[in-house]
Amino acid sequence: MGAAEKYKAAGVDLEKANRLVDIVKKITEKLPQRGVVSGIGGYAGLFSLDVSSYKNPILVSSTDGVGTKIKIAIMANEHKGIGIDLVAMCVNDIITCGAKPLFFLDYLAFGKFNEKIFTELIEGIAEGCQISQCTLLGGETAEMPGMYAPSDYDCSGFVVGIVEGNEIIDGSSISIGDIIIGIPSSGLHSNGFSLVRKIIFEEQKLKLDYIPEELGQPLGEVLLTPTKIYVPIIKTLLNRDLEIKGCAHITGGGFIDNLPRILPKNCKAVIEKNAWEKPAIFTFLQKLGNISEEEMYRVFNCGIGLILIVNEDTLEEMQSLISALGENCYTIGHIEKRKDEEKQVILV
């Protein structure tokens, strides 16, 4: 038995691995590859950085994964949305700084390589890159028997973006009286799924094809709805020179843990809980799992995926522009002075 046969017997198929590059090339050939110097398949991705329009260019990077939402994708055997999620979780983070995404890389790890899953993941990643106007520069795929069960996989994403040094959104200019705008989520996005799985599958023993009356569609479809990508909205606002004082991506930690990351210490965010229409999945989960309101706002996005803090003078123009893009937004609160030891997020 040759080395390749022994490796295959140990659980790693080199022939399958060699087909990956061809799959990726086929899926990504129509993607704009602005800045790419090297093609898919090399040892490293080369990117030509054009800084001619920047005075003080700052590179911004982020890395993230999708978490245990993958378990539900495996149950449903539907994986394209996970690829979109992977891109979204990364690009949504750097856009909060005002950074324009430049390029994205992925890391996919399988217990046993599955061509269908791989293809769907790359299709989703490519779609996410297209929405966020980001180059797919490269990636890595590993087959790791013994580390993962044969049907399991995991993924990580990495993005690099760029922003002008004096245009970084960091929350430092947030002041008393500023208005909080909420841009809706597409649903659960990619957070809180350990709790979701515990409630729905362990405690309630529900199936993915079950159609709750409150949801009106199969549970699996609702749970696997991809994370919304907010890059086009924020880029449009910034291109119109509308000042965004602070921007928060509502991910793990919900409102309660994410908003303080951008607030000055002397400020608190007062959130009006009834200011927006919450997707039915959140009410469904809260009732099914008997979850407290505070825990809901700490674990889930509760229907708001991105928060902008703006001056009241720019509110109307900001809302009009967001609406012109075909997106909804809500005025969900305001900034008040914070007393010592007072919480930075108040729900009213």
Does pLDDT of 32 surpass 80? Answer: no
Taking residue 317's Cβ as centre, other Cβ atoms within 10 Å add up to 13
- Per-residue pLDDT tens over the stretch 36-95: 887 666 778 898 999 999 999 999 999 999 999 999 999 999 999 999 999 999 999 999
Q: Is the dihedral of CA 313, 230, 183, 68 positive or negative?
A: negative
Contact 180, 308 (CB under 8 A): yes
Predicted local distance difference test score (pLDDT) of residue 4: 47
| Stretch among 32-46, 96-110, 207-221 having the lowest mean pLDDT | 32-46
Q: What is the pLDDT of residue 138?
A: 87
Tell me, what's the pLDDT at 17? 60
Torsion of CA 13, 14, 18, 19, to 10 degrees: -20
Structure tokens at 307: 């928060």
How confident is the model at residue 3, as a pLDDT?
41
pLDDT of residue 347 exceeding 70: yes
Count other Cβ atoms within 10 Å, centred on residue 74: 17
Which residue bears the tokens 């959140």? 282
pLDDT for residue 6 is more than 70 = no
| Kind plus residue range of the DSSP H or E element containing 333 | strand 330-337
Asked if residues 72 and 197 have their Cβ atoms less than 8 Å apart, the reply is yes
Could you tell me which residues are beta bridge partners of residue 335?
269
Across 112-117, average pLDDT = 92
Q: What is the largest CA-CA distance in the chain?
A: 75
Please, which pLDDT band fits residue 11 given cuts at 50, 70 and 90?
low
Percent of the chain with pLDDT over 90: 81
Residue 30 and residue 5: Cα distance in Å, rounded?
36
Which domains does the chain show, CATH number per domain? 3-167 (3.30.1330.10), 179-347 (3.90.650.10)
Beta-bridged to residue 346, according to DSSP, are 270
- Predicted model pTM: 0.93
φ, ψ dihedrals at 25, nearest 5°:
-60, -40
Bridging pattern class, strands 100-110 and 135-143: parallel
Side-chain-facing half-sphere of 6: CA atoms under 13 Å: 3
Distance CA 270, CA 268 (A): 6
202 DSSP 8-state letter: I
Quickly count: other Cβ atoms within 10 Å of residue 108's Cβ: 23
Residue listed under structure tokens 């200011």: 275
Side chain identity at residue 94, one-letter code: I
Chain-centre distance of CA 262, in angstroms? 18
Between CA 222 and CA 281 the distance in angstroms is 8
Span 314-327, pLDDT tens digits = 999 999 999 999 99
- Residue among 139, 186, 142 at smallest CA distance from 159: 139
